[in-house]
Amino acid sequence: MSDLQNKVALVTGSGRGIGKAIAIAYAKAGAHLALSARSTDQLNQTAEEIQALGQKTVIVPADVTDVNQVKILADKIRETFGRLDILVNNAGGGIERSLILESDPDLWIKDVTVNCTSAYLVTRALLPLMIESGGGKIINVGSGMGHRPGPNSSAYHVRKAGMWMFTQCLSEEVWEHGIDVNELIPGPVATDLTDGRMKVGGPPPFAPSEHVKTPEDVTPLALYLATQPNGGPTGQSFSLTRRPI
């Protein structure tokens, strides 16, 4: 594949799981990669696989909830590549899963910050470079839980609802710059975060119609969104789930 030949992509949370799988898929399609996560060791592993494909990569360990670290990330991408064509806001993780009444306020706020505010900070820092590059694609990894309410895990519902609204608002602001913004909903995926609760190929505990995917199963949709022509869909939600979102 060469659909992304010589494009430059940033994937946050690319040290493992869905982020790593997307980064490698983009490299196979011809893209150069900027990789960011908190774990340097995991980023190095992803970078080695991408470099083995003959693609250029730069790793920037960062806490993407920290404004200063995000600025360093943006500066490093500008210095290394001089452009950015694709941004995948994937960083996140489950932190507070309690009932609202029983929840820890610090953990609840941290949960929303890690998953939603981080996408805002990274996007805000990289938009100038994307505009200078002539436009591109922003893909926000969301969840069906951001489209509906439910008991327990209110922080997860709220943060993903925020990601969906952020996607829609951003799409209205940047289309004139040739930037398309869409949400990717993976559905249930077996990752480190779901270890012990989900088995590949089987149903997750909350939806018998679903089957649990591998991170690599998410990459065809990520490639589809990254390779749409200019003026393609924007402000939309694309889902791999097997039930209404």
Six-digit token string for 30: 């011809």
Calculate Rg over the CA atoms of the chain: 17
User: Is there a contact between 147 and 245 (Cβ–Cβ < 8 Å)?
Assistant: yes
Cα separation, 86 vs 21, whole angstroms: 15
Q: Phi/psi at 112 (nearest 5 deg)? A: -65, -40
Query: Closest Cα to residue 90, out of 25, 28, 22?
Result: 22
So which residues are the catalytic ones?
156
The C-alpha angle with vertex 37 and arms to 165 and 120, in degrees rounded to 5, equals: 25
Cα separation, 96 vs 98, whole angstroms: 6
What b-and-e string marks burial along 136-146, b requiring 16 or more CB atoms within 10 Å of the CB?
bbbbbbbbbbb
